Amino acid sequence: MRECHKKKQQQSQQQLQQHLGNAAAAADADDTAAAAAAPAAAAAADAAAAVHTKRKLKLKKKKQQQQQQQQQQQQQLQKQQQHQNQQQQQMQKQQQQQQQRQQQQQQQQPLAAATTSFAAAPPPATAATTAAAAKAAVAEIPEAAAAAAQHQKQQQQQQKQQQQKQQQQKQQQQQHFKHL
């Protein structure tokens, strides 16, 4: 009986040792597999990080390019606006100059007509001839004034035509800038 009992104990101890040995071997195998897989996992993580950084750099470049394009477009628009403003200022100066010329002509024409009519009269010899000459000069003043008025009307028409041409040019330029 004792021998049977000893044999059973020995067998159970052997089985226990085998079981422990198998468990240790399995643990060692798991450790080696994990150790082998660790570099691959690290490499995969590095590759994913590199891809992510590349994407970020591409997005940054795209944003920078878009900002540069927007700045260039704004600069072009500003240049166009400055050009339009300069043209408008030039047109205003031309209009002011034309108005000043017209005013000067309006002021000078009646005086010039009156002085030329008086100067054209012959020197008076007697009081009767001076009175006749004065009447003739006075009669010529309305004719000179009418001629001056007609001349002024022609100038106004010419000015209106020039203003219409300038406005047409303005509209064409604005349409051209809008297309740009």
Residue 47: predicted pLDDT: 87
Residue 79: predicted pLDDT: 92
Q: Which string of DSSP letters, residue by residue, matches 18-70?
A: HHHHHHHHHHHHHHHHHHHHHHHHHHHHHHHHHHHHHHHHHHHHHHHHHHHHH
Packed helices 127-179 and 2-120: angle between N→C axes, nearest 10 degrees: 170
Residue 33: predicted pLDDT: 72
Residue 139: predicted pLDDT: 60
Determine contact, residues 80/177, Cβ cutoff 8 Å: yes
**What percent of the chain shows pLDDT beyond 90?**
22
pLDDT-derived band at 28, boundaries 50, 70, 90: confident
- For residues 161-172, average pLDDT: 85
Residue 107: predicted pLDDT: 75
Q: Which string of DSSP letters, residue by residue, matches 69-82?
A: HHHHHHHHHHHHHH
- For residues 18-43, average pLDDT: 73
Q: Is the pLDDT reported for residue 173 higher than 60? A: yes
Domain boundaries of the chain, sorted by first residue: 134-180
User: pLDDT tens across 58-99, in order?
Assistant: 999 999 999 999 999 999 999 999 999 999 999 999 999 988
- Give the Cα separation of 141 and 153 in Å (integer): 18
pTM over the 0.75 mark: no
User: pLDDT tens across 98-141, in order?
Assistant: 888 888 887 776 655 555 555 555 554 555 666 666 666 656 66
| φ/ψ (deg, to 5) at 177 | -65, -35
